[in-house]
Amino acid sequence: IIAIIGPTGIGKTRLSVEVASAVNGEIISVDSIQVYRDCPIMAAQVTKAEMKDVPHHLVDYLQASEEPVDFVAQAVQAVKSIHSRGRIPVICGGSTLLMEPLLFHPFIQEQNFLAIAFNSDLSTIKGLCDGRITSMLEDGLLDEVKKLSELEKKHGLYESPSRTGAWKSIGYPELRAWRDATTPEDAEKGLRDGLELMKQNTLQYASMQLE
């Protein structure tokens, strides 16, 4: 097993594809937001083009209202399935909530293991995260937020929002003021403040992943 670990925005996805291509591998994504179908932009999900025909597992498979409660068991099963095909599992992620219990699972601990850990200073990571958020905006972030908002209303959660499912993704709660704005001025301020808050929260999350 090869594991590629590091903070958000640092380039794990690209490296994991390169490594998997080189070793006849398949990628298991370990990310608590990339599991959702309804927020590919906010989750910075790998695109079909970026996959370069490398099989990916545990990406884009949950409804917005679901939680990855059996994620570790599914990931272990994916490892076994990949091994059964004579290929190498490449585990990629930064979610400590999911990565730690997976890597310390008894079955995973029994395997031959190589870990590649990314590290960097916060100023570099801040630049990468800020650039990612700018790209998200260009790729259709606001339309995605609107669609998630409609789903939240459909599930009866909008009036008392909770940080569950896809709605816990950084980018959704931060832009609530923009979503609820009733004037162009309020919308402009809500967007400006929301994007700044996204940058702050993304950097805070990346900092936590470095600990």
Q: For residue 147, is it left (φ>0), alpha (ψ between -120 and 50) or beta?
A: alpha
78 and 151 together in one domain: no
21 and 80 together in one domain: yes
89 and 7 together in one domain: yes
133 and 113 together in one domain: no
92 and 159 together in one domain: no
Helix axes 96-103, 71-84, angle to 10 degrees: 50
The enclosing domain of 77 has a CATH number of 3.40.50.300
110 and 156 together in one domain: no
Return the pLDDT at 161: 64
104 and 134 together in one domain: no
167 and 181 together in one domain: yes
The enclosing domain of 171 has a CATH number of 1.10.287.890
Q: Which pLDDT tens digit goes with each residue over 147-181?
A: 999 999 998 887 766 678 999 999 999 999 999 99
188 and 103 together in one domain: no
Q: Is the dihedral of CA 148, 150, 154, 159 positive or negative?
A: positive
Q: Which pLDDT tens digit goes with each residue over 44-91?
A: 999 999 999 999 999 999 999 999 999 999 999 999 999 999 999 999
**Strands of the 25-30 sheet, one edge to the other:** 56-57, 25-30, 88-93, 2-5, 114-117
**Which domain does 191 fall in, by range?**
122-210
189 and 166 together in one domain: yes
Return the pLDDT at 164: 87
Q: Which pLDDT tens digit goes with each residue over 99-153?
A: 999 999 999 999 999 999 888 888 898 999 999 999 999 999 999 999 999 999 9
Q: How many structural domains are present in the chain?
A: 2
